[in-house]
Structures are given as structure tokens and as C-alpha cells.
């Protein structure tokens, strides 16, 4: 039989008097502000946007060689180097930078703080880094760093991780193992329901890891199987107000459209006259959007009648790289709604 020593007795009494404290939870405002300096993250896609992660196109774009045309794919690319560029032309870097600068100016005019990815942490040649949405998912209390699907984008996560560390934003999860996940295929519908588009860029293992984090916060994750080789759900579904979504119903399953109706989410459908980048927009506060100027007058009229105000900017040269305004913005902090 063992007898407690005086030292053990004192230690036990000390631990009882200074116990561990699981409450309040990590995500509570008081804990966030005390430990992390502010309440980080998002629990919705439309609350006032406070901080956004971005990257101005730069020298990494030099890898794109307009002499390397793959005519049967309708693209430029180099499979060995791992880069590709869709479409008939590669715009001058200066044009892309000008449009990106215009987006930054539009966001700042709405009171949004723009944080930039640290260039010294970037892997050379990662010419899709401008699409910061894909490398991070901000949830209540912190960030989930994703894991890109294609090898040509693998490594963008490192620069994002270093940037978040320097900003002081907690990282709740890094998608690892064989999970793949890109933020353009994730959306909050409301604070208790989110959706992920399963595709060639998001597999079930990535969705499972994401779901583990969301479950702690009481958030249900819906899975939508995207069709064919479509990459991200943000080409078909974006929340633009607390109860309003901008959608392409031809690319969403019927059960999901029914689910939105059950949740009393009104939908505004993209019009055939809209430019392909129109739906790829971002809400800076409830009912206030920044959109591509390729949106049609018919859609603008629908949005106006629904009480949605819009700022339009040119963004077609950046879109030629495969992503629009939504893709180019990685929200880090939003107000609750």
C-alpha cells in the first residue's frame, strides 16, 4: 500500500485550487480578445467584412509562357512545370495588377482592411496565388488552412500559414494526410449550416476533416456533388444577404435547391446574358456586393428589386486565370449577423 507524501498532498491541493478551465470556450469573444487580440474568423458569408487576405499578381506570373499553346485544350500550359492558363490569350501582368488594385480600392472604400500574403514565404511559380480564397477557410475563432488539389498549386498553403502566424490569427486545423480541400468550394449558408462542393479539388477525406472542426461549433456541413470537372461551388452558389443567395440552378442538385427553400433562402438566378464571372462576387456587408462589370442589366435589375446594392469593377483579365472576385478574396474576419 502506498502512502501519499507531504509533497504529493500539497501538489494535489494546489491543482484543486488552480484547476484547468475548459470554459469559457476558445471561440468566445472574451477568450479571443484576451489571447489572440481580437475575435478572429467568420460564422457567415455576408456579415460586415473586416479583414480579407489577398495577393497582388506578381513575378510568379512570369512562369506563364504564351508560346506554349495546347490547342486541343484551348489553353496554354506546361504539364512538366505544372502550370496552365485557360483561354485564347494571356493578358499583360500590368492589366491584371490594375484590376486587382481596383478590387483592393473598392474593398477599402467599404472599410475593409486588406492583409497581403507575405511574398518571402511564397514558392516560386505558384501563379494561382492571387486566388487566396482557396488556401484558407475562416470559421468562428480562427482559420482552417486547406490543402490544394493540383500539384501546380501545392505549396500556396505555406505562405498563407506564415502570413496568418504574423497576423496573430489562430490556426484551428491544417488539412493533412490524403485530404484535399479548396476554400472556393465552401460556403456558410447561415451560422449553423455550411455547404461543401465535392469535386476533383475537394475529396471526402478533406470534407471529413473540415466537418470535425465545424462540429465543435455546432455547424452542420452539407455535401453537394459537383458535376463533371467543375471545381468549386462558388461558380454556382454565393450568399449575398442574410436570406438571399445568387445561384446557377442548372449546376446545383434539386435536393439542394429544395433545402434552400426549406431554409427560407430566397434565390436570384444568374441570367444567360451575364458574363461567366458575374456570380463570382463577394458580400462586404448584408445586401452589399462587389461584382464584375460583366453582370447583365437584367441581373442588376433583379438585385436592385431585391434590395441588394452593387459596386461593379472590371475584373475580366484576372478572371482569365480561372477565378474572379470571390476567388481573389479570403475573408479573415466578419461581423456576426
CATH of the domain at 300: 3.75.10.10
**The dihedral of CA 293, 295, 297, 301: what is its sign?**
negative
The answer to the question of residue 20 being in a domain is no
305, 69 in Cβ contact below 8 A?
Answer: no
Domain span holding position 162: 27-334
Count of domains for the chain: 1
The answer to the question of residue 5 being in a domain is no
The answer to the question of residue 156 being in a domain is yes
What's the pTM value of the predicted model, to 2 decimals? 0.94
pLDDT values of the chain reduced to their tens digit, one per residue, 337 residues: 678 898 988 989 988 999 999 999 999 999 999 999 999 999 999 999 999 999 999 999 999 999 999 999 888 999 888 888 887 888 899 999 999 999 999 999 999 999 999 999 999 989 999 999 999 999 999 999 999 999 889 999 999 999 999 999 999 999 999 999 999 999 999 999 999 999 999 999 999 999 999 999 999 999 999 988 888 999 999 999 999 999 999 999 999 999 999 999 999 999 988 877 889 999 999 999 999 999 999 999 999 999 999 999 999 999 988 899 999 999 999 999 9
**The dihedral of CA 295, 130, 308, 248: what is its sign?**
positive
The answer to the question of residue 1 being in a domain is no
The answer to the question of residue 2 being in a domain is no
The answer to the question of residue 18 being in a domain is no
Residue 116, C-alpha cell as written in the block: 497581403
Q: Which of 269, 273, 315, 271 is nearest to 290 (CA)?
A: 315
Amino acid at each position: 500500500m502506498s502512502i501519499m507524501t507531504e509533497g504529493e498532498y500539497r501538489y494535489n491541493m494546489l491543482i484543486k485550487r488552480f484547476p484547468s478551465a475548459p470554459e469559457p470556450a476558445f471561440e468566445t469573444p472574451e477568450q479571443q480578445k484576451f489571447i489572440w487580440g481580437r475575435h478572429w474568423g467568420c460564422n457567415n458569408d455576408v456579415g460586415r467584412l473586416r479583414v480579407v487576405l489577398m495577393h497582388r499578381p506578381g513575378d510568379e506570373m512570369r512562369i506563364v509562357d504564351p508560346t506554349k499553346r495546347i490547342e486541343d485544350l484551348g489553353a496554354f500550359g506546361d504539364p512538366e512545370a505544372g502550370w496552365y492558363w485557360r483561354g485564347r490569350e494571356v493578358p499583360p501582368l500590368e492589366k491584371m495588377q490594375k484590376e486587382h488594385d481596383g478590387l483592393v480600392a473598392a474593398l477599402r472604400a467599404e472599410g475593409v482592411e486588406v492583409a497581403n500574403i507575405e511574398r518571402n514565404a511564397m514558392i516560386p511559380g505558384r501563379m494561382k496565388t492571387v486566388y487566396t480564397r482557396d488556401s484558407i477557410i475562416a470559421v468562428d475563432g480562427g482559420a482552417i488552412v486547406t490543402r490544394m488539389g493540383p500539384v501546380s498549386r501545392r505549396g500556396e498553403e505555406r505562405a498563407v500559414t506564415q502570413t496568418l502566424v504574423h497576423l496573430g490569427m489562430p490556426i484551428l486545423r491544417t488539412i493533412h494526410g490524403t485530404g484535399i480541400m479548396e476554400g472556393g468550394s465552401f460556403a456558410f449558408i447561415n451560422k449553423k449550416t455550411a455547404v461543401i462542393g465535392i469535386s476533383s479539388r475537394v475529396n471526402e477525406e478533406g470534407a471529413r476533416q473540415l466537418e470535425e472542426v465545424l462540429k465543435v461549433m455546432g455547424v452542420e456541413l452539407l455535401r453537394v456533388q459537383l458535376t463533371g470537372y467543375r471545381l468549386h461551388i462558388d461558380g454556382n452558389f454565393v450568399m449575398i444577404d442574410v436570406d438571399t443567395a445568387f445561384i446557377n440552378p442548372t449546376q446545383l442538385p434539386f435536393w439542394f435547391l429544395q433545402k434552400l427553400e426549406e431554409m427560407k433562402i430566397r434565390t436570384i438566378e444568374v441570367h444567360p446574358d451575364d458574363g461567366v464571372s458575374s456570380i463570382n462576387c463577394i458580400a462586404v456587408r448584408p445586401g452589399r456586393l462587389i461584382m464584375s462589370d460583366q453582370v447583365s442589366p437584367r441581373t442588376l435589375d433583379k438585385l436592385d428589386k431585391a434590395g441588394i446594392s452593387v459596386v461593379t469593377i472590371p475584373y475580366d483579365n484576372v478572371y482569365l486565370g480561372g477565378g474572379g472576385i470571390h476567388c481573389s478574396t479570403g475573408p479573415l474576419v466578419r461581423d456576426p449577423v
